[in-house]
Amino acid sequence: MSFKHLPLLGAAEIIGALGLSPEQTAAAADMAHRVAQSAWRRRGPRKSGQSYEEFAATVSDCAWLTMFEFGALLALGRRREALLLADASRVVHQAARTAARK
């Protein structure tokens, strides 16, 4: 488990709000890092020279917390809510990218 890139105050709020155990917290942190590593492996040619640490440092706090909450919901057995969170996150990030291009 690594909290290296997770915003600690935000993670603490999620831990408290969901009532996570230490094991569930560890699983959620691991999930956040696995998702980030997956994104790093699929990065485009523009970012292909970045190490994982460089890439992880550019991930927004909001994205880290979303990935952490996704993992927390899965650790709690709340798969449907986790998938809804992931879908909502994709929609919001896609809308932000579209707005940034205009």
| pLDDT value at residue 1 | 53
Res 79 pLDDT > 70: yes
Please tell me which residue, 91 or 99, carries the higher pLDDT value: 91
User: 8-47, pLDDT tens digit by residue?
Assistant: 999 999 999 999 999 999 999 999 999 999 999 988 777 6
If you compute the radius of gyration of the chain from its CA atoms, what whole number of angstroms results?
14
* The amino acid at 8: L
Percent of the chain scoring above 90 in pLDDT:
67
Q: What is the largest CA-CA distance in the chain?
A: 44
pLDDT at 67 over 90: yes
Length of the chain: 102
Long-range contacts of 33-37 (CB under 8 A, 24+ apart): 33/2, 33/5, 35/67, 35/70, 35/71, 36/5, 36/64, 36/67
Task: Indicate the pTM of the whole model.
Answer: 0.87
Statement: residue 66 has pLDDT above 90: yes
The ranges assigned to domains in the chain are 8-101
